[in-house]
Amino acid sequence: MKLPAVAPGIVFKDLADGGILFSTQQEIYFSLNAVGAAIWRLLPPECETLDQMVDRLAAQYPDVDPQMIERDVRELLADLEREGLVENREAARS
């Protein structure tokens, strides 16, 4: 699965315990915990596919089952897409 791209107008700010996303277009804030911020930082161009991202996160969090990592990543990406913070790269080209 190809990872979504960061939507236009999204600003990310790293914090000690995670991060904050701000949509300049929708004027909404979205808080990320430390794992969510790690996922955000691995979005394209850092990683192109879900498998690449899961592998990188599994190396970062070796005590967590890769299947659980994948479920959590999919859930967060769905939330981010629903909020308009990321967009499906295939749909964006159409």
- pLDDT tens over the chain, length 94 residues: 999 999 999 999 999 999 999 999 989 999 999 999 999 999 999 999 999 999 999 999 999 999 999 999 999 999 999 999 999 877 544 4
What is the pTM for the complete model shown? 0.90
What pLDDT score was predicted for residue 89?
A: 76
Question: Could you tell me whether strands 86-87 and 28-33 are parallel, antiparallel, or unpaired per DSSP bridges?
Answer: unpaired
Question: Could you tell me whether strands 28-33 and 5-6 are parallel, antiparallel, or unpaired per DSSP bridges?
Answer: unpaired
Under 8 Å between Cβ of 33 and 13? no
What pLDDT score was predicted for residue 91?
A: 57
What pLDDT score was predicted for residue 94?
A: 44
